[in-house]
Amino acid sequence: MGGIDNIVLEAGDILYDTITGDIAVLIKRTKSDSYRWSYYTQLNEDGSYGTYAWKMFWVPPDRNIYTEESLVHMIDSGRLVLYKSSQSK
């Protein structure tokens, strides 16, 4: 743990929830100028502040949008395991 700067999420990546056994595929990353579930905003590439959110497909079907910040912290804490897609560079 402690390597959140090294966690890069991309469409096609797979997440495994170590507690529930659920599996998710990252579908699409979107930018939101305000996102009600995030306490921290991020500096975007264009210099503006906002939060990124990921649309996800879960098996079994359940929740489907999380902030990028929350996903990175859950990966770092060990709650989620990240499996990179073969498209990663």
How much is the pLDDT for 51? 78
How much is the pLDDT for 33? 65
The answer to whether 56 and 47 have CB atoms below 8 angstroms apart is no
Domain boundaries, the chain: 4-83
How much is the pLDDT for 72? 93
How much is the pLDDT for 77? 94
Query: Per residue of the chain (89 residues), what is the pLDDT tens digit?
Result: 556 778 889 999 999 999 999 999 999 998 776 545 555 555 556 666 677 889 999 888 776 788 888 899 999 999 999 999 876 55
